[in-house]
Amino acid sequence: MSLRPETRAVHSADTDPASGAIVPPIVLSTTFEYETTGLDQDPDQLIYTRWQNPNRVALENTMAVLEGGAVAHAISSGSAAMLTVFQALRPGDHIVSSDDMYFGIRVQLNEFFAPWGLETTYVDMSDLDAVRAAMRPETKLVILETPTNPMIRLADIAAVADIAHAYDALLLVDNTVATPVAQNPIQLGADIVVLSLTKYIAGHHDVLGGVIIFAEEDELAERVMRLVRIGGGVLSPMNCWLAARGLQSLSYRVRAHSESALEVACFLAEHPKIERVLYPHHPSHPQYELALRQMEVGSGLMSILVEGGREAAIEVVNRLQLFTSATSFGGTHSLIEHRESIEEGSSTPANLLRVSIGLEHPADLIADLQQALA
């Protein structure tokens, strides 16, 4: 039967044959009894939890289905997922990456991988000529974050995939902000999708995790699998279980986050104390048409530029009552953060606040913003 993503997500694990439980048990055992001894074992046989675990299998299979990939690997954080992909490359390889992206990934590339011989060129991914000009014969990977965090810039995934493939490079898309509910990078030509499960997938501010999905079980996918299993940075059974539970309501949550975020964006865009709202599905976004074409919904993440500079922006954060001043996004609670204060080597505007719209009623969020901006 061809099932839609919502149904697939709910039915991600079979009823437990031992107990009949429809909620899968959390399998904490680190070791499993051999079904056969000797070296002619079934490769899918459970042996040791670093190698594989039933909760990880359930999560990885569902993530692979939702992103339209062949295989997925769940790992201890979104950052560790990116780190593992970089480790699977080789010294002398070259990366072309978004110049606006989650800053921790840039720190990984500059601080750890550049001295190791993996060089990165940063470009504005909305400028396709700049992307082409950055490509080299040794370019192995192009990395896109779309929408970017925190500038909420978009890139045309299909167009960048064409450029990467023309140079025999792979395209990796960080789909953390959009999630597979809003966009499917693999359908648009991406070879690898990475997500921080910490955000919308788990969705309740209580899981740290990451996942790497490959469109095909190619050579890099095999190397990443070896690194995950032998390196051991795997996601724990408990966190796999929580993330898989989050997946069951993902579609409905992301649509609710997105609807509320659009309402909030419309309110803020008209407010005299707000210089600009950066939200993909708001008509004022410079790439609004691309957003409508590429993203089914706008997600719950936006940034705002506050009139009056850094101090005025920080003052708004301090006055808010429902929004929590905290990092991260994609969970039930609305969060707000002055990004420049926390980013290492930040070039983010000093009056920018990143806003994550949670699952509270949008009218209450708007009332809180109204009083904080008054």
Ligand X SMILES: Cc1ncc(COP(=O)(O)O)c(C=O)c1O
Catalytic residues: 50, 102, 174, 199
Distance CA 178, CA 66 (A): 13
Give residues with Cβ within 8 angstroms of 267, minimum separation 6. 366, 369, 370
Q: How far apart are CA 61 and CA 49, in angstroms?
A: 16
Helices 237-248 and 54-67 sit at what angle, rounded to 10 degrees? 40
For the bound state, the minimum distance from the C-beta of residue 2 to ligand X, rounded and expressed in Å, comes to 31
Signed CA dihedral, 26, 215, 113, 103: sign only: negative
Binding residue for ligand X, selected from 72, 160, 164, 177, defined by CB under 6 A: 177
Q: Which region among 116-124, 130-138, 170-178, 245-253 touches ligand X (by CB under 6 A)? A: 170-178
Count the site residues for ligand X by CB under 6 A: 14
Name the residue with tokens 């192009």: 142
Pick between residue 49 and residue 77 the one whose CB is nearest to ligand X: 77
Work out whether 78 is an interface residue with ligand X (CB under 6 A): yes
Toward ligand X, which CB reaches closer, 46 or 354? 354
Residues 122-161 that bind ligand X (CB under 6 A): 145, 149
Choice between 16 and 344, CB closer to ligand X: 344
Contact partners, residue 194, CB within 8 Å, separation at least 6: 78, 81, 82, 85, 172, 173, 174, 175, 176, 210, 211, 212, 213
Distance, in Å, from the CA atom of 323 to the CA atom of 320, rounded to the nearest integer, reads 6
Q: Is 174 in the site for ligand X (CB under 6 A)?
A: yes
Closest to ligand X by CB, 102 or 323: 102
Q: Which of 108, 198, 251, 260 binds ligand X (CB under 6 A)?
A: 198
Q: Which of residues 276-295 bind ligand X (CB under 6 A)?
A: none
Query: Quick check: 239 binds ligand X (CB under 6 A)?
Result: no
**66 Cβ neighbours under 8 A, 6+ residues apart:** 5, 8, 9, 180, 247, 250
Q: Name the residue among 99, 111, 107, 108 with its Cα closest to residue 142.
A: 99
Distance CA 78, CA 271 (A): 35
Rule CB under 6 A: choose which of 53, 77, 294, 299 binds ligand X: 77
> CB of 233: closest distance to ligand X in angstroms?
11
Residue 371: is it exposed, middle or buried by C-beta count within 10 angstroms (0-12/13-18/19+)?
A: exposed
- Which residue, 60 or 145, is less far from ligand X as judged by CB? 145
Q: Of 121-129, 155-163, 174-182, 234-242, which part binds ligand X (CB under 6 A)?
A: 174-182
Q: Which of 102, 122, 279, 323 binds ligand X (CB under 6 A)?
A: 102
Q: Which is nearer to ligand X, 192 or 208 (CB)?
A: 208
Token pair, residue 188, equals 């648009």
Residues of this chain that bind ligand X (CB under 6 A)? 77-79, 102, 104, 145, 149, 174, 176-177, 196, 198, 208, 210
